Amino acid sequence: MQRFILSKKNNITVISAILIVIGFTFELGFKNETVAVWAFAIASILGVAPIAIQAYQALRVKVVSIDVLVTIAVVGAFFIKNLEESAIVTFLFLFGAYLEQRTLNKTRSAIKELTEMAPESALKQMENGEFVEVEVDEVDVGDILLVKTGAKVPVDGTVLSGDGHINEASITGESVPVSKKKDSGVYAGTILENGTIQIVADRVGEDTTFGKIIELVEEAQDSKSEAERFIDRFSKYYTPAVLVLAIIVWIFSKDIELAITILVLGCPGALVIGVPVSNVAGIGNGARHGVLLKGSEVIHDFSKVDTIVFDKTGTLTVGNPKVADKEVYIDNVDEVLGYLASVERESDHPLAKAVVEYIGDVELYTVEKTDVVKGGGIVAQVAGHRVAVGNVALMEQENVRMDEKARADIAQFEKKGNSLVLTAVDGELKVLMGIRDQIRPGVKADLQRLKRLGVKNLVVLSGDNQGTVDLVAQELGLTEAHGHMLPENKSAYIGDLISKGHIVAFVGDGVNDSPSLALAQIGIAMGSGTDVAIETSDVVLMNSDFSRLPHALGLTKATARNMRQNIWIAVGVVLVLLASVFFSEWMNMSIGMLVHEGSILVVILNGMRLLRYRLRY
């Protein structure tokens, strides 16, 4: 019976409204008190039923809830024959609960949209080579899948063949389609807007990036911030205190109606709902814009950050070294570049890959007698010539002649933070290349936004040499730069900052960053980083989009500010209502309940503003 009544709560609300209208119509229009009394009485009994059931369920677990206060107030009003008041109070309480649930559902819409975007089926290649539609749960790692125009990518994978443009908004928050071709990575839940591709499944089910997003966001919603925990404790004692106050007022004033009115006006509904709705809306906004905030506590701490520490490679920089400078010491360089590309193709070193990528398509030669010099480079026979490719130490070992211009070029390249690749043929220097990791586009502007948001210290820590780190810091306008930092040095530095009273966030992407991510008050992982870094962190920037970091900080500050606003609104309304009972003549239960439910809607609507939050600068 209890379950049935609670399931019909909205129907009861409508019937109560109709009965109240009938009651006032007969009372004021037809002067028929009998019908009016019966209408108000039935409306009161129907309306209080679901409220009383919820009060009973709360008392069973030793909680004096808002429903308990309202039930006592309505029953009291009913027995003192204040039927209009009891009918209106029950209706307003039920109608307020309906509107509250409706608006709360809207704040959770961002999360609901995510779950609805999860792919349900996939075109899987069977043993006979044909593609058959199967449920996405039937896809295993290594399976080959076909994705057609307009379809959702079912798993995280790598493109085997075909090309097209994919909308990755569900992962990165960026609506501009991204071009995909052979060897490109794709994410589950993204949409192929044009083209047809075949992919091999790398991660499936809950292990996909999209699956982790949903899991992390759901976990975040279930977590509670310090403010929420405080309010839970406050409500636990506040609600019984209101009940005691009402009893004391009744004993001393002998005015049962005044005591009942205090019960209604003292309900802390807006206070209880205000902070959670802000958190849910803030987390939902982040999820829609490529930022995962792992819980309400994260929002509280992140909003107070005054120092952000960055790993350099893969965070401030792209993490993919490229040839940035080149100097040629001969007229016809094509043949030498062919020698260089041929030798570098023999190596898996990042610098060698950067050189091969930079040279592009050239005539290649057979490489013989390859000798890898540890810490120096490679010496090989190419087309009858002795070719040495490596650093300055290797050139000196090979007795390569370097004139003043070459030495000046080397010094200049090093000053720019380059790693050097020199190429000598038969003892003569032919080509000098400077290779360095490129700073992420737009990072400088993003760092300026962080400063405007109140971050006082921007620090870079890197295992690279101090000169290279200083150049990055100088170009980006960072506060401090420290090179030659091992993982233990980074975590020790962060520990020192925390001991000095700073609220520290650390941004990184690798396994070596995990100790620092765990130690900092807020750990921020780049979404394309390692699983360990992502699991250890408190905030994840999907698709390693650095521009999401200012949005994340601005969002947490707006959310924390929104929480405080809701607390002040809730407390202010209760104080005004209680004061008006003792110092005014116009306040009664009906008006009090109307204002009470109105305050709940105000804090919910205030929280919902966060769903539209965008960083303005």
Neighbours of 63 (CB within 10 A): 15
| Angle, in degrees to the nearest 10, between helices 269-288 and 589-608 | 20
For residues 173 and 170, give the distance between their C-alpha atoms in angstroms, rounded to a whole number. Answer: 6
Question: In terms of Cα–Cα distance, which of 173, 274, 39 is closest to 542?
Answer: 173
Q: Which amino acid is at 9?
A: K
Question: Cα separations (Å) of 276 from 228, 232, 272, 364?
Answer: 7, 11, 8, 64
User: Which of the following is catalytic: 143, 156, 311, 437?
Assistant: 311
Question: Cα separations (Å) of 10 from 95, 420, 428?
Answer: 8, 74, 89
Question: Cα separations (Å) of 133 from 149, 189, 205, 382?
Answer: 15, 17, 16, 53
Determine phi and psi for 44, rounding to 5 degrees.
-65, -45
SS3 538: coil
Q: CB–CB of 292/534 below 8 Å? A: no
Determine phi and psi for 464, rounding to 5 degrees.
-70, 170
Q: Report the run of H or E that residue 559 belongs to, with start and end.
A: helix 548-583
Neighbours of 146 (CB within 10 A): 21
Tokens of 362: 């050239």
Eight-class DSSP state of 92: H
Burial zone of 275 (CB within 10 Å; 0-12 exposed, 13-18 middle, 19+ buried): buried
- The residues with which 599 forms a beta bridge, in sequence order, are none
Tokens of 205: 């089910």
Tokens of 232: 């839970």
Eight-class DSSP state of 375: T
Question: Is 311 a known active-site residue?
Answer: yes
Q: Which residues contact 165 (CB under 8 A, 6 or more apart)?
A: 177, 178, 179, 180, 192, 193, 194, 195
SS3 45: helix
For residues 201 and 145, give the distance between their C-alpha atoms in angstroms, rounded to a whole number. Answer: 7
Complete edge-to-edge strand list for the sheet that includes strand 367-373: 322-328, 428-436, 419-425, 385-390, 377-382, 367-373
Q: Which amino acid is at 451?
A: K
Q: 414-423: string of b/e by CB count within 10 Å (b at 16+)? A: beebbbbbbb
Question: In terms of Cα–Cα distance, which of 391, 384, 382 is closest to 363?
Answer: 382
For residues 609 and 605, give the distance between their C-alpha atoms in angstroms, rounded to a whole number. Answer: 7
For residues 167 and 178, give the distance between their C-alpha atoms in angstroms, rounded to a whole number. Answer: 6
Show which residues are catalytic: 311
